[in-house]
Amino acid sequence: MLNTSYVGRSLPATEPVAISADSVSRFAHALGLSDTAAVPPTYLISLTLPAADPLIADPEFGLDWSKVLHRDQRFVYHRELRAGDEVSCVPTVESIKTVAGSDLLSLRTEVRSSGETVAEVWTTLFVAGDAA
């Protein structure tokens, strides 16, 4: 079971990371996209998932990664991202709901550039409970 006292907690902002044309191209090609000039809409997962690593590694939070299934992902862009942008990520535990002995974890990660929110990414994970 996840520690519900973490709901509402935000992790510190990550160090700014430059979105490089090379990383955008590699991500696009991995998805089978031929147009690598634009940042693919799902590119941010490559930055937001690692931003949650301190939470995942926190033993008091209680997340066993071997019991996790990805349930949902949602992206909201406030402006288009471009190669050359420097962004930092601030993950927040938005909710933890227990259903039939398993947890649904919702994380919201704010993506900032030059102090402004440029995107928000919601990730919902299903965390299987212990077998009865």
CATH code: domain of residue 123: 3.10.129.10
132 is a domain residue? no
What is this structure's pTM? 0.91
- The torsion defined by the Cα of 73, 76, 80 and 82, in degrees rounded to 10, comes to -40
118 is a domain residue? yes
Please count the structural domains in the chain: 1
pLDDT in tens, 13-37: 999 999 999 999 999 999 998 877 7
39 is a domain residue? yes
pLDDT in tens, 34-90: 877 789 989 999 999 999 999 999 999 999 999 999 999 999 999 999 999 999 999
102 is a domain residue? yes
> Domain span at residue 31?
4-127
